[in-house]
Amino acid sequence: MSLKYVIGIDESGCGALVGPLVVCAVAFAVDQPQVTVPWHGVRGDQVLRAGDSKAFKDADKRAALEAAVRAEARACAVIERTSAEIDARLFSVIFPEAIQLAALRCLESLKVIDPALVAADVVVRIDGDLARPALPCAVECLPGGDKLDWRIGAASLVARTLCDRRLDALHAEYPRWGFDRSRGYPTREHKQLLAERGPTQAHRRSFRPVRELLPQPRGIEA
């Protein structure tokens, strides 16, 4: 049997101090051409190609590609975990679990459209040098994979776009913490604002830069 589908997996929000972790898995037929979008800009017409979301500084371009990826993918699964869930169960548990769950849900969706699907028909490619999740098909973990395989890049676009929407909502709720600029990541400005104003309810209290600013529990006094 020959390979029929490639599933790309990537995340957004992994290193952030606030907001959700978003993991996306997108499946494409192995012979699917790279997803593209025509773009008419002030600098002339161009063709946008699905790939690493970090390569697109313009949010409108990312959003256009994200919509095209969702439209052309054979299957798409998104797993979102909030700051509260991360704090309750710890990131080291949540992250690999979310990757595995996204892959399994994507595989389930493929099985619906292709009931004859078998393990040899699918390969899952994940961005990063990670422990391989237990899946009923081949798995490849690729450092820098969002630049090496456009399907992983396509997953990064979906994950990044949703994560940014969540941070936009958090910025509207907490406008004095600059989430529209830091996107939740520990930039110099973000850490300075944390030190001056303390964490919001949306911050990940289990992450050290936030945890160190929280009141420490008092010991038992004699």
User: 153-162 pLDDT, tens per residue?
Assistant: 999 999 999 9
pLDDT at 1: 53
Q: Which residues of the chain have pLDDT under 50?
A: 220-222
pLDDT at 169: 97
pLDDT at 7: 98
- The span from the CA of 205 to the CA of 211, in Å, is 5
pLDDT at 49: 93
Both tokens of residue 112?
């619906």
CB count in 10 Å sphere of residue 205: 15
Handedness of CA 190, 98, 127, 61 (dihedral sign): negative
Whether 19 and 163 have beta carbons less than 8 Å apart is answered as: yes
- The span from the CA of 159 to the CA of 25, in Å, is 9
How many distinct helices (H) and strands (E) make up the chain? 8, 7
